[in-house]
Amino acid sequence: MLGELRQRLQAVQKVTGIDHAPGALPFGIAEVDGVLGGGLARGALHEIAAAGEAHLAAATGFALGLAAPARHWLWIAEDMALAESGAPYGPGLDAFTLRPERLLTVAVGHRRDLMWAMEEALRCRAIGAVIGEVRHGALDAVGVRRLSLAATQSGALALLLRASPMGDASTAATRWIVSAAPSAPSNGFEFGVPRFAAQLVRNRRGPTGSWIFEWRDNDERFILATHTLPVAAPAGDRPHQKVA
């Protein structure tokens, strides 16, 4: 009877998109998973910061890619963040295989309310991932520790999305700084495949590193970019200079 009960519980967890067994969410990239000790730790808090205000969209996209495996997830943002950056966009979520009907958004007026809402959401076993978007400024150290503890207890993925690099103390398992990277050429006038320059600046499991990731919506995962592009192409009307 106990064995049958365990099987039923596992089936329910799969339906809700949650697996509370210890482990990690692998990138499927040997180089990255090796640094992370098998992948992004589940049941843990991870911090993702934009390299600058202009790169906040890239940091958001990176966070969405990490949250993609969760069937049900929650986005919590400060009112100021929503006013300056806007709310999650439905077609954009589709590009990351995150169906809008699986998303619940919450707007809060104060930083302390955001931390409280994240903690409460992480304790809900129907939520697979929680993203909290904050603006500039340090976070309350006690609140961050509580988020880490709540994620550990539930097995959910907790992501703190920040508008600028952080230097405050934290119990997060990893810290990332993300900026936009040039896309590969595409045919016609379509945008190229999204690319993200991600720096792992803190890793509780050991080494750090930096990579250029490319999102593949067909595979629903990140891959490593096969080549890089110059920041700016030469001007077409620039006269050629003779070399002595």
Q: What percent of the chain has pLDDT over 70?
A: 80
Q: What is the CA angle 44-48-51, rounded to 5?
A: 165
CA quadruple 53, 55, 56, 59: dihedral positive or negative?
A: negative
Neighbour tally for 15: CB within 10 Å = 9
Walk me through the domains of the chain, giving residue ranges and CATH numbers. Answer: 31-182+191-224 (3.40.50.300)
- The SS3 assignment for 113 reads helix
**Mean pLDDT lowest among 18-32, 142-156, 218-232:** 218-232
Report whether pLDDT(216) > 50. yes
Report whether pLDDT(243) > 80. no
Backbone angles phi, psi at 12, to 5 degrees: -65, -40
Going from the C-alpha of 202 to that of each of 100, 150, 176, 207, the distances in angstroms are: 32, 21, 7, 8
In this structure, what token pair is assigned to residue 175?
């810290």
Which range scores top for mean pLDDT: 70-74, 84-88, 212-216?
212-216
Rounded Cα gap, residues 224 and 42, in angstroms: 22
- Please choose, from the candidates 172, 228, 168, 158, the residue with its C-alpha nearest in 3D space to the C-alpha of residue 200: 172
Backbone angles phi, psi at 20, to 5 degrees: -90, 5
pLDDT at 227: 55
Q: What percent of the chain has pLDDT over 90?
A: 39
pTM: 0.80
Q: Which residue has the higher pLDDT, 84 or 196?
A: 196
Neighbour tally for 237: CB within 10 Å = 5
Report whether pLDDT(236) > 60. no
Report whether pLDDT(146) > 90. yes
Angle between helices 141-154 and 111-122 (to 10 degrees): 20
